[in-house]
């Protein structure tokens, strides 16, 4: 696999010739809607195991191996007809092997809303361990608002993907509620009722486990949350159900803020089977223009997390979306959420080059709309996805979790499956 960045003058034809590939394969793998239109800076994935190198004056197998950072013996093996590493002819083709060894076996979770297009779901399931169906909202009495999840559960299980029930403190008709979380966690009778209802739903609907996504919890409810998680896990694990939790991206135990304080990493790491770190939303709907998941900030979260949570329990959050901000940014104004393919389509439509912020390992571009308003778009592409997925190996993480899989972005899965094998638990 090669992540290739489009340069001025490139075409699919020229790229295919350069890498000895079929144009049709490049187009199909990347699901290019209009292969005649490419944006400078756009990243595509080339699913090949060799790079043809045209010998120039002064080349040797040794110099080629250094230029491509390939082991000399591997280069020799890929070119058995070359008998001397120092005698090459100008114009001769040397096949440079692309590393194909995978980095390990990992868990992959994907969040999905019940309204996901079933074709999109079926295309994505081969790359998942877990399908987390979002969400069963808890009521103040501990009951759960039902959702239309039967078809997703059945489809997931038929594809050997374990369905997880997501339970949230989203207030009916509203958003995440601190007061609702307080009611659920501080009242023993309500907590017990919630646990009973979770267990009942897991059994009746044939779920594999539950993901608890409680956000904006009052700091004084931290111990209550820990105790709830402890009780829930001890009830469910012996019956074969797993418990995961979704946690805000903290960089220290003392990080302030309603989103962070009640999410105590060590206790969740002790009780839960997996921890999903929500390593995204640095750039968010009502915030200033920023990369959604800047790798320098993600690393800070992981640096802290692995000191208090077993690294093999951690699933790093992967955003499958971007944002479009109108400039100049005004506090309180809302950015428009985009699919990754939708972001790329804007760059193609506006004929603008995609730039890359190396520190954050994130692509972005600017454009002017028909009304004359200036915009900036931050998103993820094949290049940034490749860099983030390397962190799983670097930090010895259990895997990754995608928010969400409702939109299919082929590069996500081409890169993931080239780098890792996906662990299946059913």
Q: Is 215 a catalytic residue?
A: yes
Following CA atoms 273, 103, 395, 337 in sequence, which dihedral angle do they give, to the nearest 10 degrees?
Answer: -80
Other Cβ atoms within 10 Å of 57 Cβ, number:
6
Nearest to 27 by CA among 12, 8, 9, 11: 12
Non-local CB neighbours of 38 within 8 Å, separated by 6+ positions: 6, 10, 11, 12, 348
Nearest to 421 by CA among 105, 93, 70: 105
Other Cβ atoms within 10 Å of 423 Cβ, number:
15
Other Cβ atoms within 10 Å of 185 Cβ, number:
25
Query: 5, 73, 171, 215: which one is catalytic?
Result: 215
Nearest to 232 by CA among 264, 263, 267: 267
**Residue position matching structure tokens 């992967």:** 318
**Residue position matching structure tokens 């220290």:** 252
Separation in Å, CA 416 to CA 104, 126, 294:
11, 11, 19
Tokens for 386, please give them: 């490749």
Q: Using the 8-state DSSP alphabet, how is residue 371 labeled?
A: T
19: exposed, middle or buried (C-beta count within 10 Å: 0-12, 13-18, 19+)? middle
Query: Which residues does residue 325 pair with via DSSP β-bridges, in sequence order?
Result: 376
Judge contact between 330 and 124, C-beta under 8 A. no
Non-local CB neighbours of 41 within 8 Å, separated by 6+ positions: 5, 6, 353, 354, 355, 356, 363, 365
| Residues with catalytic roles | 215
């Amino acid at each position: 696999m090669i992540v290739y960045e489009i340069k001025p003058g490139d075409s699919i034809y020229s790229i295919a010739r350069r890498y000895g590939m079929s144009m049709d394969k490049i187009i199909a793998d990347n699901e290019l809607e209009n292969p005649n239109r490419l944006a400078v800076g756009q990243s595509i994935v080339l699913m090949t195991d060799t790079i043809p190198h045209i010998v120039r004056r002064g080349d040797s197998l040794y110099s080629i191996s250094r230029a491509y950072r390939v082991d000399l013996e591997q280069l020799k093996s890929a070119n058995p007809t070359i008998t001397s590493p120092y005698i090459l002819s100008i114009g001769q083709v040397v096949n440079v092997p692309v590393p194909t060894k995978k980095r390990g076996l990992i868990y992959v979770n994907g969040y999905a809303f019940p309204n996901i297009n079933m074709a999109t779901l079926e295309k994505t399931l081969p790359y998942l361990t877990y399908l987390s169906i979002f969400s069963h909202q808890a009521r103040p009495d501990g009951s759960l608002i039902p959702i239309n999840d039967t078809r997703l559960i059945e489809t997931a299980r038929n594809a050997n993907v374990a369905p997880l029930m997501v339970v949230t403190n989203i207030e009916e008709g509203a958003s995440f509620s601190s007061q609702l979380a307080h009611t659920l966690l501080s009242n023993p009778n309500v907590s017990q009722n919630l646990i009973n209802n979770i267990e009942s739903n897991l059994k009746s609907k044939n779920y594999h486990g539950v993901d608890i996504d409680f956000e904006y919890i009052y700091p004084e409810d931290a111990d209550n949350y820990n105790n709830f998680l402890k009780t829930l896990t001890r009830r469910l694990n012996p019956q074969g159900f797993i418990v995961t939790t979704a946690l805000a991206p903290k960089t220290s135990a003392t990080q302030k803020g309603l989103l962070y304080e009640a999410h105590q990493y060590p206790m969740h790491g002790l009780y839960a089977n997996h921890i999903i770190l929500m390593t995204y939303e640095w750039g968010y709907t009502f915030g200033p223009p920023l990369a959604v998941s800047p790798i320098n900030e993600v690393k800070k979260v992981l640096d802290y997390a692995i000191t208090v949570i077993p690294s093999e329990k951690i699933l790093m959050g992967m955003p499958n979306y971007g944002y479009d901000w109108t400039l100049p940014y005004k506090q309180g104004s809302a950015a428009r959420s985009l699919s990754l393919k939708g972001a790329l389509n804007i760059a193609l439509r506006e004929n603008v080059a995609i730039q890359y912020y190396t520190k954050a390992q994130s692509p972005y571009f600017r454009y002017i709309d028909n009304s004359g308003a200036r915009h900036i778009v931050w998103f993820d592409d094949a290049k940034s996805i490749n860099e983030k997925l390397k962190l799983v190996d670097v930090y010895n993480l259990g895997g990754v979790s995608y928010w969400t899989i409702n939109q299919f972005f082929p590069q996500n899965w081409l890169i993931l499956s080239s780098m890792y094998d996906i662990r299946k638990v059913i």
